[in-house]
């Protein structure tokens, strides 16, 4: 399996509850390396661009309001098969369906406020990393 990079967000529901360290521990224990990380607060327009793929979904406005409601931690995770591995560590979108031990099973509050984002494919990972980070900020 190849060394990959994926993009991750620790969402407002998690930063509000001071869960950044506990979530990062899950990534590191699973062998993912945090090679870039910063705390930012997005505007609603910036969240809207990030989630443009969901623009036609009924929850889009609520999603963009939530994602801009408080600080988030944006990060790049590196490791063998990092994209799929991170999706496993995160668990299913709806915490009610998330496997025991996953971040969403342990921490998510609802399907909308579900603690973490993770890229779903190599193309989206590259686009999402480039939206938030300059190349020089990735220190692998």
Catalytic residue numbers, as ranges? 117
Record the tokens describing residue 94, joined without a space.
């709806």
**DSSP string for residues in 105-126:** HHH--SSSS-SEEE--SHHHHH
Rule CB under 6 A: say whether 59 interacts with ligand DAT. Answer: yes
Q: In this chain, which of 35, 120, 124, 126 binds ligand DAT, going by CB under 6 A?
A: 120
Rule CB under 6 A: say whether 24 interacts with ligand DAT. Answer: no
CB of 5 to ligand DAT, least distance (A): 17
Q: In this chain, which of 8, 117, 125, 132 binds ligand DAT, going by CB under 6 A?
A: 117
Q: How far is CA 40 from the centre of its chain?
A: 13
Asked whether the beta carbons of 65 and 115 are under 8 A apart, the reply is no
The footprint of ligand DAT (CB under 6 A) covers 54, 59, 63, 93, 111-112, 114, 117, 120
């Amino acid at each position: 399996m190849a060394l990959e990079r994926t993009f991750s967000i620790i969402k407002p529901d998690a930063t509000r509850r001071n869960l950044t360290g506990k979530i990062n521990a899950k990534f590191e224990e699973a062998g993912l390396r945090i090679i870039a990380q910063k705390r930012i607060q997005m505007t609603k327009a910036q969240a809207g661009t990030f989630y443009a793929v969901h623009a036609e979904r009924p929850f889009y406005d609520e999603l963009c309001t939530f994602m801009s409601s408080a600080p988030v931690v944006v990060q790049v995770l590196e490791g063998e098969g990092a994209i799929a591995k991170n999706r496993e560590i995160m668990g299913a979108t709806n915490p009610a369906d998330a496997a025991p031990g996953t971040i969403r099973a342990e921490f998510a509050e609802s399907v909308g406020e579900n603690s973490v984002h993770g890229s779903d494919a190599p193309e989206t990972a590259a686009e999402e990393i480039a939206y938030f980070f300059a190349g020089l900020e990735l220190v692998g």
